[in-house]
């Protein structure tokens, strides 16, 4: 018998307890003694290499101890509790909430990439609501770095003293995030700029933190084989590595500006290349309010529903036509400015994380949305196989349009009672292992779209717009995305005009389908109301007749 098989002779519960307590015991001293260090981080007695090593041990130990507690809580709180038990929803929700609070505490203490990871998870919108609601508070909790450190980074990167470049430079940051902070400055030529400065030493921290996160995800999968989060860690690691290169961010910014050069509704800040390096990015300063700040929009006399429509159309164009998608449209990265032809414009910021969609994937995704609108189950299944998710493709309509694959309701409409019961019964048969397999099988492009789409849905809800706005925009741009990409200045004017005509016809066909489905839904509801009304009438008449008969 091998050593491995001998280990598994122990009861699973006892083995888990031993390993969890050991991990917690090893991690506690490092976390505890870190608070007893006799000198601060900037002390001359505390060289950078030693400081980095100690900080790495503390951060890693804190992460291991937190995940250990989370695993123990799940293991023992849900032990022996059947999934179909009436107590399971309440108990699991309580465990989710306790664990989410522990994770929030970890992210707040470790900051940096842990805070970024928490934001990343909250933005997925596919995690339990306890996690997304709890971790969403990380969006506005970044602690600014001391200006002395920031000034040193600026001088080192720009090669000159700030007084030689700027008329004035604000020491207090106007925005702070997990990997950088932004300062307002005025150049010698009186141009207002926003200067984004990366916190020093992030690349070393990134390598350590992502390695620890990978180890922890594998540990979770070892204890709970049905919970596999390797896909999440790898996607996060890719996101972070892209966001640390400000040169690439500047290039992404310019490409986006070029993609929307004919769209007066979109503004992308100009990049000052002579004041931009891998760790410093200098851009045109743009004023505006966060895209989900409804009260401020109303104060500016801007219709929030129009903003929602414009926002979703901009991102639909990125996905379906450009194939070049801004992967992090949280409120601070999309501002609404009063400047614009229609009374406002959208200012796109933070171009660090972009996903260049594979052309074959882009076309398949366009076909998927066309099939989702008309509920073409055969095409949905075929595309699901191409995306690598097989039988799980039947849940695409639920994920994206809120209806089942055999639904008779219109897209964006709430499911009927019967449909909800049927869907609930289907979902009960799904195990966590099935969900993990589904997420692992999806192409990376799809995962980025899921995350972005979840954030957009949240904005649409806050702005008070119906989800139909999103569905119509996606349908329109999916059709346009399937038409040939022809240059109107190429000389083939007739071909271009014909292509656009056919795209418009296809789009109006889908609009008719949407309108027809909505009309049928309204007629069904009207019919049900009539039945209910006549039932009440019959009941009242029957009661009156009975009363008369008794008299």
pLDDT number for residue 305: 95
The mean-pLDDT minimum among 132-141, 302-311, 364-373 falls in 132-141
- The arrangement of strands across the sheet holding 345-348 comes to 266-267, 345-348, 334-337, 289-290
For residue 27, the model assigns a pLDDT of 39
- Mean pLDDT to the nearest integer, 534-544: 57
Of 280-294, 305-319, 384-398, the range with the lowest mean pLDDT is 384-398
Give the count of alpha carbons within 13 A of 128, CB side only: 16
Alpha carbons within 13 A on the beta-carbon side of 510: 26
Say whether pLDDT at 462 is over 90: yes
Q: Is the pLDDT of residue 389 over 80?
A: yes
Res 487: pLDDT? 46
The arithmetic mean of pLDDT across residues 201-223, rounded, is 72
Mean pLDDT, rounded, of the chain: 78
What is the structure's pLDDT at 49? 58
Half-sphere exposure of 1 (CA within 13 A, CB side): 7
- CA 56-58-64 angle, to 5 degrees, is 100
Convert the pLDDT of each residue in 237-263 to its tens digit: 777 777 889 999 999 999 999 999 999
Percentage of the chain exceeding pLDDT 90: 34
pLDDT of residue 20: 39
Please report which confidence band the pLDDT of residue 500 belongs to, taking 50, 70 and 90 as the band edges: low
pLDDT in tens, 153-200: 999 999 999 999 999 999 999 988 878 999 999 999 999 999 999 988
The CA radius of gyration of the chain, in Å to the nearest whole number, is: 28
pLDDT surpassing 70 at residue 545: no
Angle, helices 359-374 vs 493-550, to 10°: value is 30
Q: Per-residue pLDDT averaged across 79-97, rounded? A: 83
Cα separation of the two ends of the chain: 90
Please compute the mean of the pLDDT values over residues 433-438 and round it to a whole number.
68
Confidence (pLDDT) at 74: 83
Supply the residues annotated as catalytic: 328
Residue 246 three-state SS: helix
Q: Which helix (H) or strand (E) holds 358?
A: none
- Burial profile 299-332: b = 16 or more Cβ within 10 angstroms, e = fewer: eeebbbebbbbbbbbbbbbbbbbbbbbbbbbbbb
Cβ 354 vs Cβ 326: under 8 Å: yes
The closest alpha carbon to 350, from 322, 329, 366, 371, belongs to 329
> Positive or negative, the Cα torsion across 315, 316, 322, 326?
positive
Question: What residues are paired with 334 via a beta bridge?
Answer: 348
**Positions of E strands within 357-428:** none
**65-69, 297-301, 409-413: least confidently modelled range:** 409-413
Say what the pLDDT of residue 412 is: 59
Among the listed ranges 123-132, 310-319, 379-388, which one has the minimum average pLDDT value?
123-132
Q: Is 529 exposed, middle or buried (0-12, 13-18, 19+ CB in 10 A)?
A: exposed
Highest mean pLDDT among 73-77, 106-110, 319-323: 319-323
Query: pLDDT tens across 30-40, in order?
Result: 433 334 344 34
Tell me which of 243 and 435 has the higher pLDDT.
243
**Tokens at 358, concatenated:** 């594979």
Indicate if the pLDDT at residue 359 is higher than 60: yes
């Amino acid at each position: 018998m091998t050593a491995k098989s001998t280990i598994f002779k122990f009861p699973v519960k006892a083995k888990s307890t031993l390993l969890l307590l050991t991990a917690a015991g090893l991690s506690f001293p490092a976390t505890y003694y870190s608070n007893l260090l006799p000198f601060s981080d900037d002390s001359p007695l505390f060289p950078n290499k030693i400081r980095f090593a100690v900080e790495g041990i503390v951060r890693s130990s804190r992460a291991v101890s937190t995940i250990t507690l989370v695993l123990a809580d799940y293991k023992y709180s849900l032990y022996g509790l059947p999934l179909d038990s009436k107590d399971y929803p309440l108990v699991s929700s309580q465990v989710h909430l306790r664990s989410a609070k522990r994770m929030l505490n970890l992210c707040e203490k470790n900051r940096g990439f842990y805070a970024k990871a928490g934001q990343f998870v909250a933005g997925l919108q596919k995690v339990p609501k306890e996690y997304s609601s709890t971790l969403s508070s990380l969006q506005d909790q970044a602690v600014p770095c001391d200006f002395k450190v920031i000034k040193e980074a600026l001088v080192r990167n720009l090669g000159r003293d700030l007084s030689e470049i700027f008329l004035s430079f604000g020491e207090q940051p106007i925005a702070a995030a997990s990997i950088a902070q932004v300062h307002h400055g005025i150049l010698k030529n009186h141009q207002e700029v926003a200067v984004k400065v990366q916190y020093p030493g992030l690349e070393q921290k990134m390598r350590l933190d992502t390695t620890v996160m990978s180890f922890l995800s594998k540990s979770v999968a070892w204890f709970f084989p049905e919970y596999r989060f390797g896909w999440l860690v790898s996607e996060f690691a890719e996101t972070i590595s892209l966001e640390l290169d400000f040169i690439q961010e500047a290039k992404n910014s310019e490409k986006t500006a070029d993609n929307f050069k004919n769209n007066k509704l979109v503004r992308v800040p100009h990049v000052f290349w002579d004041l931009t390096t891998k760790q410093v990015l200098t851009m045109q300063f743009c004023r505006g309010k966060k895209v989900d700040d409804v009260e401020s929009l109303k104060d500016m006399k801007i219709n929030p529903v129009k903003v929602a429509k414009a926002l979703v159309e901009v991102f639909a164009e990125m996905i379906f036509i450009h194939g070049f998608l801004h992967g992090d449209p949280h409120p601070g990265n999309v501002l609404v400015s009063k400047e614009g032809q229609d009374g406002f414009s959208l200012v796109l910021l933070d171009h660090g994380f972009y996903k260049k969609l594979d052309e074959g994937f882009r076309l398949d995704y366009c076909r998927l949305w066309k099939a989702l609108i008309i509920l073409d189950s055969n095409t949905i299944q075929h595309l699901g196989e191409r995306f690598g998710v097989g039988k799980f493709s039947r849940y695409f309509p639920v994920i994206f349009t809120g209806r089942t694959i055999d639904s008779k309701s219109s897209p964006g409409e709430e499911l009927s009672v019967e449909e909800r019961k049927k869907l609930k019964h289907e979902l009960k048969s799904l195990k966590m292992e099935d969900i993990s397999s589904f997420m692992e099988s999806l192409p990376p492009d799809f995962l980025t779209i899921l995350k972005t789409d979840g954030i957009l849905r949240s904005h649409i809800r806050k702005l008070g717009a119906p989800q139909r706005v999103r569905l119509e925009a996606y349908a329109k741009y999916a059709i346009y995305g399937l038409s040939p990409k022809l240059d109107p200045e190429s000389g083939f004017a007739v071909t271009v005009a014909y292509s656009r005509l056919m795209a418009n016809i296809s789009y109006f066909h889908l609009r008719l389908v949407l309108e027809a489905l909505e009309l049928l839904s309204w007629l069904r509801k009207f019919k049900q109301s009539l039945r209910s009304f006549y039932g009440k009438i019959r009941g009242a008449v029957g009661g009156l007749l009975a009363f008369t008969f008794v008299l």
